[in-house]
Amino acid sequence: MPANVTSDIQTDVINVNPVEHSRLPGVDLNNPGFGRLFADHMFSMEYKDGQWQNPAIVPFDKLEFMPSLTALHYGQSIFEGMKAFRTDDGTINIFRPEKHHERLNKSCRRLCIPEIDQDLFMEALQTLVKLDRDWVPEKKGNALYIRPLVFGTDTHISVSEAETYRFLIMTSPVGAYYKEGINPVRLMTSSNYVRSAQGGAGNVKTAGNYAASLLPAKKAKEQGFTQVLWLDAKEHKYIEEVGTMNIFFKIDDRLITPPLEGTILGGITRDSVIQLALEWDVDVDERHITIDELFEASGKGSLQEAFGTGTAAVISPVGRINHNGSEIILDENQIGPFAQRLYNELTGIQYGEVEDRHNWIYSV
Ligand SMILES: *Cc1c(COP(=O)(O)O)cnc(C)c1O
């Protein structure tokens, strides 16, 4: 690692144990791929005897656990995903970290995992990103993806909430989601599977939600679609979300997105998009919308745009939607003007090119 990095990074609270040799010289940050490459360090903290303890930054490396690790058997595991961006003057901008912390704790509460203090979370994040700041790619569109993870670490196989946990933050330089321009995604509804039901855990970021979505996603891919557009579990007619992204439609100049009523993950990109649209005097309806209404709007020519929102892709235009064999074809080649405007504004704020009027940026 660069010689100048360690000295100013020690904190009172967090023990910093830097790597002897950075792996960075062997890495091409212009082509990092997505989520397979990890920076030199990670933050790690344990929960035992009723409290979080031993916060430390250590080399990103293997962990050792017993085969009876509770998280592996019963899925007490939650995570977050956010990004840090390098601006032209070298500042590193993290997008809405307090909001991600708030959601992390919401996920923790749902799975009986002890919550994590906000000040400690922010200090861990800042110290880690500062230490690995050279891993934040320079190229526009690329970023440092930040993955906090919490899981139960008891070593018994009786079903109960664990008494011990591990909290990690790892970071991964990632490329732009779209290599050549923005390619609209193709979505299909699923008639056999649901992602989430009222009272379940669909509104928090748990590992189990993703595990259960892999088979339906695989089947959608086999039929030529990018992802599943989930419908509600009860009546199977209301549009919910995409499972990695929230969904928006522009119909008759109004922006429509399903409401957060317990089965949909409250995306932070979703929240940002709603705020921007309202500021631009676009009417936003957080309301139920059926798949039939969407097909009707498309038939009448009033469906103007459809796009997904999420940290990974920011804005992801939808080119095609298949439901029981019928299809809505939007624009399969390019992003719509409103989605493009949102994309420009959000990435502009993230890369420090557009004024951060909302205090969304946390600079390190
Ligand atoms: C993370 C996630 C999203 C997107 O949330 P962002 O905060 O915008 O990244 C949407 N749906 C699900 C199920 C998710 O896990």
Banded pLDDT at 162 (limits 50, 70, 90): very high
pLDDT on residue 332: 81
Among the candidates 144, 175, 206, a domain finishes at 175
Q: Is residue 10 one of the residues assigned to a domain?
A: no
Q: Is residue 118 one of the residues assigned to a domain?
A: yes
pTM: 0.95
**Higher pLDDT pick, 19 / 178:** 19
* Residue 103 in this model has a pLDDT that exceeds 50: yes
Compute the distance from residue 200 Cα to the ligand 1 centre, in Å: 16
pLDDT on residue 10: 57
Banded pLDDT at 182 (limits 50, 70, 90): confident
Residues with C-beta less than 6 Å from any ligand 1 atom: 81, 205, 241, 243-246, 265, 267-270, 309-311
pLDDT on residue 4: 39
Compute the distance from residue 267 Cα to the ligand 1 centre, in Å: 5
Distance of alpha carbon 26 from alpha carbon 22, whole angstroms? 9
Among the candidates 151, 175, 199, a domain finishes at 175
Q: Tell me what the mean pLDDT of segment 240-249 comes to.
A: 96
* Residue 18 in this model has a pLDDT that exceeds 60: yes
Percent of the chain scored above 90 by pLDDT? Answer: 92
For residues 230 and 318, membership in a common domain is answered with: yes
The number of the ligand 1 atom at minimal distance from the alpha carbon of 205 is 15
Mean pLDDT of the chain: 95
Among the candidates 111, 141, 175, a domain finishes at 175
Compute the distance from residue 332 Cα to the ligand 1 centre, in Å: 23
Q: Is residue 180 one of the residues assigned to a domain?
A: no
Q: Tell me what the mean pLDDT of segment 253-281 comes to.
A: 98
For residue 356, give its domain range: 185-362
Unique residue bearing structure tokens 């690329």: 142
The number of the ligand 1 atom at minimal distance from the alpha carbon of 241 is 11
The number of the ligand 1 atom at minimal distance from the alpha carbon of 103 is 7
Banded pLDDT at 49 (limits 50, 70, 90): very high
For residues 141 and 68, membership in a common domain is answered with: yes
Total tally of structural domains belonging to the chain = 2
pLDDT on residue 205: 98
Distance of alpha carbon 20 from alpha carbon 2, whole angstroms? 10
Distance of alpha carbon 230 from alpha carbon 213, whole angstroms? 10
Q: Is residue 1 one of the residues assigned to a domain?
A: no
Banded pLDDT at 7 (limits 50, 70, 90): very low
Q: Is residue 276 one of the residues assigned to a domain?
A: yes
